[in-house]
Every structure is written in C-alpha cells, then in structure tokens.
Amino acid sequence: MTIELLWVVLITILTFGEANTRLKEVCNPSDLKGLTIFKSGIHVDTSGRLAKWVGGNCCNWEGISCDNRTGRVAEINLSAFISSDDSPFQAQMEGLFSSSITLLASLQVLDLGGLSGLSGTLPKSIGFHLPELRRLVLYGNNLSGAIPESIGKLSKLEELVLPENKFSGLLPSSLGSLKNLKRLSLYSNRLLGSMPDSFTNLTSLVYLDLHDNSLTGHIPQRIGQLQVLEELDLSSNFLAGNLPPSLANLTSISVMCLDTNYLEGPIPFPSSSAQMSSLRLLRLHTNHLTGKIPPTFGDLVSLQRFSLANNKLEGAIPASFGNLSALGELYLNGNQFSGQIPKSVGQLSQLILFNVSHNMIQGPLPSEMSSLQNIQALDLSFNLLSLTSIPKWLVELPSLSRIYLAGCGIQGNIPVFLRSTLSPIQELDLSANNLTGSIPTWLGVGSLAQLYLLNLSRNSLVSKIPYSVTNLHDLGVLDLHGNKLSGSMSRVFEIGQGFPDGSLTYLDLSDNKFSSGMEQIGVGAQRGIQLLNLSNNILHGRFPTSIERLKLLQSLDLSSNKLGFNLPEAVANLSMLETLKLEKNRFAGKIPNEFLKLRKLKQLDLSDNLLVGEIPVGKPLSDFPQSSYSGNRGLCGKPLPPCKPTWFG
C-alpha cells in the first residue's frame, strides 16, 4: 500500500470518527424538540430528573437512551419507581402528557408507569409516527379519552400496558393487527363495548388483562386460538353469554379469571385429561353458571386455587377432586350443591382453605377430612349437615385457625374441647345454631386467647358476659346478638388494649336482655369501634357523653331501649357517623343544633321518643323523611309541619 493511500484511509477514519462524535454530542433536532416540549408540560417532578435535561446532548439525559448507530432516541424510561442504594423511591410528576412524543420517530420504549399526576390523552396519530415502538408502558397515570384506532399500526409493538387510568370508549378492533403483541394490559379503566373478535388474531399474546372495566357482550368464540396465552383476566366486567368451548384449547394457560360477570350456562372444559394441564388459578365465581361440575375437573392436576362461588351450580361435588393434589384453596360456597362431601377430599394434603357454605350439602362429614393436616380455614356454614355437635376431630387438625359452622344444627353447650385445639383459633363462627347454656368462663384462655372474630349470635345462650373476655386483646369482631344474655355489657368495653385505640371495630350485642354497662363506652381502651349495635335490650339511663371518644364510629344503633333525658351534644363530635338510630326510647328535650355538624349522616331515626321543639334547620337534618322524626308529638319544622308561632301578650 502506497503512502498516499494510507493517508486517504487515515483521513477517512478520522473524519468518520469526528462526525460520529459530533453525532453523539448533538441530539437529533426532532428528538430534541419532542423532549423539550414534553418537559415543558410537566410542572412538578419530585425525582429531579427533568431538571437535568439541559444542553443539546439529549442522549446523556437521565432516563433517555439512544441508538449508538443512528444517534436517535430509542428509549424513554421515567417510571415512578426508582431504585437507589438506600431504598426504593416513588417519584411523582404532575403535568400534561404531550403529543410531542410522536416527534421521536425511532422510539422503541416509552415507560412513564406509576406517574399518577400525568394527565392528558394518547395522541390520535400515535400509530403513524412511532413505527419502531416495542413497549408502551403508561400504567397508573391519570390519562383519559379513547385508545386511538391508529394504535393498530404499531406493527412492532410487543407490550401495551395502560392499566389504572381513565381511558374510555370502545376497544379498537385494530388491536387485533398487532401480531407481535405479547402483553396487553388495560385493566381498571372505563372501557365499554364488547371484546373485538379480532383479538383472536393475537397469536403471540402471552398475557391479556382487561379486568375492572365495563365491557359487555360475549367472550369471543375463537379465543382458544391464542395458543401461547398463559394469563387471561376478564373479571369484573359485564360480560354475558356462555363460556366458549374453545377455552379448553388454551394449552398454555396457567391463570384464568372470568369471575364477577354475567356469564351463564354450563362449564365446557376440560373435555379431556390432556387439556389445560398447566392451569394453576381458575376463578369463575360470581356469575350465573348452571349445571354440574364436570368430573374431568379432577384432571386439572396443576390447580392451586379454584373458585366457583356464588353461581347456580348443582349436583354432587365430584369425587375426582381428590386428584387435585396441588390444590390449596377451594371455594364452592353460594351454589346449590347437594349430596355429601366426598371422602376423597381427605386426599387434598395441600389444602389450606375450604369453603362450601350456603349450599345443600348433607351429613355426615367424612372422617377422612381429619387428614387435612394443612387446613387453616374451614367454612361449612348454612348447609343441611345437622351436625348436632362439633366433630372432635376438628380440634385435632394442627393448622386449623378459622372455623365457620354457622347454621349447622349444633346443639347443647359450647364444647370444652375448643379451649385445647392444637392451633390457636383466630376466627370462630357458631352463629344460627341451637347452642344453650352460658358463654364459657374459659373464653379468652388457652387456644381461644388469640381470637379476632367471635360470632355466637342467634342462639339461646343465657349467661352474663364472663370476665375472661377482657383477655381477648386481639378481638376485632364480636357478635352476640339474638341470644338471652343479661346483666352488664361493661366487660366488653374493658377488653385490654392490644392496639392504640383498642382492637374492637365491630360490636353487636343487640336483641338480648342487657340492662347496664353503657357508661363504659369510650371510657376504656376500646375507642376504635366503627359499628356499635346495642338495640333491643333493656338499657336505661342517660346517653353517655363519653361516646364522643369513638372518633371512628360510623354506625350507632341504640333503638328499642329505655334510654332517656336529653340527647347529648357530644354526639355531634362523631364526624364519621353515617347511621344513627335512636328510635323507640324516651329521649326528651330538643334536638341539639350541633347535630348539623354530622355531615356524613345518611340514615337517621329519632322516631317514637319524647322530643320537642323545632328540628334544627339545615343539612343533613332537613333532608331526612318525616318517618325519621314521627312519634314525637312536640317536634315541628321541616320535614314535619311548620312550628306554630308563639304569641306573647
């Protein structure tokens, strides 16, 4: 090679290198303009990333990546979730999502996920200007308007992630043209209309989530063509019609959620043992499905969580369920299942939760259920079991902590063996049975010391509340209504303090014969009560002003007692109160003007008392019907007839 040729090669290399350096130092004018306009639309950025967008070299800006070959902007990654050395940080941006983003013609990735203050719409022409786009991630923003039809022109798009926004209108049928699309996530928006049949052309789709919208119509009949689909969620919509038989052809499916719709007819899958072998989660609850459970369900050997609750299914529970060796949760409640629980249920060694309540299941319970060593929650309530007594093998289950046996025909005393279960009981529901005798004095000790929920309502218990109840420091829900309990209720309000405002949130002692103890309301540690029902007892005396300390109280019912004297102004300090029922007592005097402060009050009943004077004028008191004040001969003013003028001579 001659010296002259070497010089030519060297000059060419140097010239190209210098040009390439200049290319990297200066942003493409169109990209720079698009990013600058986008930045100008954002008026809050807690991450400080946009503040660093200065100069002409946008490829060095935080969140921006460029193609090394062309120098064009290829990626915008400004997700709200930022990982740092110390801890994850969630940034916020407030402002407008600018259509200037379409100026970045080589853009492959746009990720603005989690920026809840970002509003605006998707540019109508987005599909014509971003031909290289592979990922569009705009979840958890405040975007609205329609998803543009032009989005179907983004032929290279692999991920379209737009959930938790306010997108409305119809699903564009052009989405069916996105042959490379692997992930389509549009859940928690305001989308209407039916699923386009063109969706069945998305043969590369792995993940489809449209839940929590207002979609109507049928599930496309040919949905089974999506052979690589692994996750399908169409729940919480208004979908109707039968389940398409082609669902059985989804050979890769592992998660299928079709619950909370208006789907009807029989369950058409699986039709053979080879189908849907990878299915782990199946949710079909809260629909209008009918018929029997196909016995082939026992072939879904990968199933871990399964819900058919709240449908109109009937017949026996298939014995083939015993083959579901991986099953951890089984919800069959709220149907019309009959017959007995099959013995094969005892083979479900991984079962953690079993709910078969509100059916027509008959006894006896199979003794094989005693083999459910991992069961934590068991709900057999409201069937035709006629148990007479609680099976003793229940207390020998080592993991059982939540027992629901309401309406099971149990008779006699609460059995003493409940105090010595192998696992501490956290929730116990024995309501609507024929229990007699007293509430045990050992309640609150042994395995019952950690109770969170105790429901003994609608029985025939006749005792006083035992002192041991004060040991239930974790008790959040206590329902004893509809018994023959008597004496003082004060011990309930003396339960020890396990939390800053106490543990109780729900307390129903109505329909008993309690005569005292109201004076302890708000005095002890229990100040976090949200619902308090003491109606239909024989309580007398004053309305305790200490109730104002229940700052979280939303519902208060003291009706049908013998309470008297004036209504305390302190009630007006219950700013969260939505329901106030004081009817059928002996309250006298005027309604305090301070009651006008109860701005959240939605239900009020002061009828059948001895109240007098003018009803305080203004919302919310003037908005309630006459029935809220009837039976008080001395009351007048809106909504009752006007007060008569008083003449002084």
Tell me what pLDDT residue 48 has.
93
Tell me what pLDDT residue 648 has.
46
Q: Is it the case that residue 6 has pLDDT exceeding 70?
A: no
Tell me what pLDDT residue 22 has.
43
Tell me what pLDDT residue 439 has.
95
User: How far apart, in whole angstroms, are the C-alpha atoms of residue 308 and residue 334?
Assistant: 9
Confidence band of 13 (pLDDT split at 50, 70, 90) = very low
From the list 285, 351, 349, 359, the residue with the least C-alpha distance to 316 is 359
Q: Is it the case that residue 621 has pLDDT exceeding 80?
A: yes
Q: Is it the case that residue 5 has pLDDT exceeding 60?
A: no
Digit-coded pLDDT (tens) for 246-255: 999 999 999 9
Segment 564-587 shows an average pLDDT of 95
Q: Specify the pairing of strand 166-170 against strand 190-192.
A: parallel
Q: Is it the case that residue 210 has pLDDT exceeding 90?
A: yes
Contact of 137 with 113, CB cutoff 8 Å: yes
User: How far apart, in whole angstroms, are the C-alpha atoms of residue 452 and residue 37?
Assistant: 56
Kindly tell me the sign of the dihedral angle through the C-alpha atoms of 418, 423, 424, 430: negative
Place of tokens 């871990």: 304
User: How far apart, in whole angstroms, are the C-alpha atoms of residue 436 and residue 450?
Assistant: 24
Query: What's phi and psi for 270, nearest 5 deg?
Result: -75, 150
Segment 359-369 shows an average pLDDT of 94
Q: Is it the case that residue 126 has pLDDT exceeding 60?
A: yes
Confidence band of 47 (pLDDT split at 50, 70, 90) = very high
Place of tokens 């116990």: 428
Q: Is it the case that residue 182 has pLDDT exceeding 90?
A: yes
Segment 77-95 shows an average pLDDT of 85
Domains and CATH numbers, the chain: 27-215 (3.80.10.10)
Q: Is it the case that residue 9 has pLDDT exceeding 90?
A: no
Tell me what pLDDT residue 454 has.
97
Tell me what pLDDT residue 386 has.
87
Sheet holding 42-45, edge to edge: 42-45, 93-96, 117-120, 142-146, 166-170, 190-192
Contact of 263 with 242, CB cutoff 8 Å: yes
pTM to 2 decimal places:
0.90
Q: Taking the CB of residue 249, how many other CB atoms lie within 10 A of it? A: 18
Segment 33-42 shows an average pLDDT of 96
Q: Is it the case that residue 392 has pLDDT exceeding 60?
A: yes
Lowest mean per-residue pLDDT among 37-46, 118-127, 259-268, 383-392: 383-392
CA distances from 391 to 14, 101, 439 (A): 89, 67, 19
Confidence band of 16 (pLDDT split at 50, 70, 90) = very low
Q: Which of helix, strand or coil describes residue 30? A: helix
User: How far apart, in whole angstroms, are the C-alpha atoms of residue 530 and residue 522?
Assistant: 12
Tell me what pLDDT residue 25 has.
62
Q: Taking the CB of residue 550, how many other CB atoms lie within 10 A of it? A: 23
Place of tokens 């003018």: 614
Q: Is it the case that residue 14 has pLDDT exceeding 80?
A: no
Tell me what pLDDT residue 446 has.
83
User: How far apart, in whole angstroms, are the C-alpha atoms of residue 182 and residue 187?
Assistant: 16
Tell me what pLDDT residue 88 has.
78
Contact of 509 with 488, CB cutoff 8 Å: no
Tell me what pLDDT residue 354 has.
98
Digit-coded pLDDT (tens) for 450-502: 999 999 999 999 999 999 999 999 999 999 999 999 999 999 998 876 677 78
Q: Taking the CB of residue 5, how many other CB atoms lie within 10 A of it? A: 9
What DSSP designation does 448 have? G
Segment 211-237 shows an average pLDDT of 97
Confidence band of 632 (pLDDT split at 50, 70, 90) = very high
User: How far apart, in whole angstroms, are the C-alpha atoms of residue 124 and residue 119?
Assistant: 15
Digit-coded pLDDT (tens) for 281-298: 999 999 999 999 999 999
Contact of 250 with 226, CB cutoff 8 Å: yes
Tell me what pLDDT residue 86 has.
66
